[in-house]
Chain A
């Protein structure tokens, strides 16, 4: 027998052992087996292996042993999963992990209600007017004279500031007599040095005046008026206002 025939037949023997060849192929194999003992021996082993396998399938060795309780538990798991999948997503999610998810869901509901209540409160009376706060009382600042405070002010700078304020408000500096600042501010000439010299009068504490002089200064803000209670010594020390 040619070896090539054995090689070709050997490749068909596994299928022939299980009866999986076509009729024509099976006939060719049987014809070869009639004259080849080696192939007959191979076929016998293959059939023995398959018999062992199919025999195992019919016994307990070929199948696992699962008790009825285990199968019932598996069935229950499947049905439970199907029930959960059939429910709306939110409900299924909630029932998945009961304690934690219920807590989260409750917290979410509380927040939702809180937000809704807040929105409703704001949206209830859209036409309700909000009470405006009362108009503030004009601020009256009591101004103590610099001399009473022991201070020396830069009158030149104060005058320049006053003039800038007048330009802004009136378009031009007001005449000194139109201004109601403290006489202190109008007393000094424009070219007065920035720093008072020793020759210039310094406003120091003079003999206490029996009655203070009330000077009111209206600022650019109509709500702010400065009231200066000047001592009579200050008033007496002032030069009369100069006119330009």
Chain B
């Protein structure tokens, strides 16, 4: 996909990525599977990362990402290409993760068992052992921290602080009011603080 975008930018006047995205959406809505595949390539890492942050499990994240793209294709005809596609896709991912959690009756408390089993997270680097160990430790700490939150608090915190979305977008994605989202974010950050206070916090000099 990036090659195609580069080719288009070289051969024609500068085309914004949003325009390319718009064209892909229109083609995919017309049944062009190749265009839909390019849409998936553009957003797959973002989708699977969000699913992983919400579910805390690689296998679940992959399943959720597949389901999210299937729902995306199914409902692509209802989407207005002029709207924010990323926000709409995020909403689909959040809903899929929510459904998956309810179906499997998993919550982040089960992550403790997965952490013990060593099936939860994998370090990014496989070359440097010390770096990999540190990375694994950080990921485990993040998973434990998110496990202390409720499903709604976790979704709000992940979208706001990990994905970096503004509060009004978070509210739109979650389908909640802004005051509700504020409460959820506030509670999540307070719990995160309590977790880090109990776990590890760099102590300043006394």
Contact = CB atoms under 8 A, between A and B. Distances in A.
A90 to B, nearest CB: 21
A87 interface: no
**Contact count band on B:** 35 or more
A64 B161 contact: no
A71 B44 contact: yes
Contact of B189 (A14, A61, A63, A74): A14
B135 A60 contact: yes
Interface stretch (B2-10, B85-93, B193-201): B193-201
A3 to B, nearest CB: 19
A46 B193 contact: yes
Interface string A100-144: 000000000000000000000000000000000000000000000
A205 interface: no
Interface in A195-231: none
B128 to A, nearest CB: 12
Contact of A49 (B31, B167, B193): B193
Nearest to A54: B161
A114 B138 CA distance: 68
Contacts of B40: 75, 78
B53 interface: yes
Given A20-B185, A82-B73, A61 B62 contact: no
Contacts of B192: 49-50, 53
Contact of B122 (A65, A78, A83): A65
Contacts of B196: 45, 49, 52
B160 interface: yes
Interface string A34-65: 00000000000110111011101101111111
Interface string B143-162: 00100000000000100111
A183 B37 CA distance: 108
B161 A63 contact: no
Nearest to B137: A61
Nearest to A82: B73
Contacts of A187: none
Interface of B is mostly: helix
Given A17-B189, A45-B197, A78-B40, A57 B161 contact: yes
A168 B121 CA distance: 103
Interface in B111-136: 121-125, 135
A56 B143 CA distance: 11
A181 to B, nearest CB: 92
A86 B30 CA distance: 13
A11 interface: yes
Given A64-B61, A66-B45, A79-B37, A57 B164 contact: yes
Interface string B30-74: 010100110011001100110011000010011001100110010
B44 A74 contact: yes
Given A18-B189, A74-B66, A78-B69, A64 B122 contact: yes
A78 B66 contact: yes
A131 to B, nearest CB: 63
Nearest to B186: A14
A54 B165 CA distance: 12
Interface in B163-183: 163-164, 167, 182
Given A49-B189, A53-B192, 18 more contacts: A14-B187, A20-B185, A45-B196, A53-B162, A59-B138, A61-B139, A62-B142, A64-B48, A65-B123, A66-B45, A66-B48, A71-B44, A74-B48, A74-B65, A75-B40, A75-B41, A82-B36, A86-B31
Interface of A: 11, 14-15, 17-18, 20, 45-46, 48-50, 52-54, 56-57, 59-66, 70-71, 74-75, 77-79, 81-83, 86
11 contacts: A14-B187, A15-B189, A49-B189, A49-B196, A53-B192, A54-B161, A54-B162, A56-B142, A64-B49, A65-B123, A71-B45
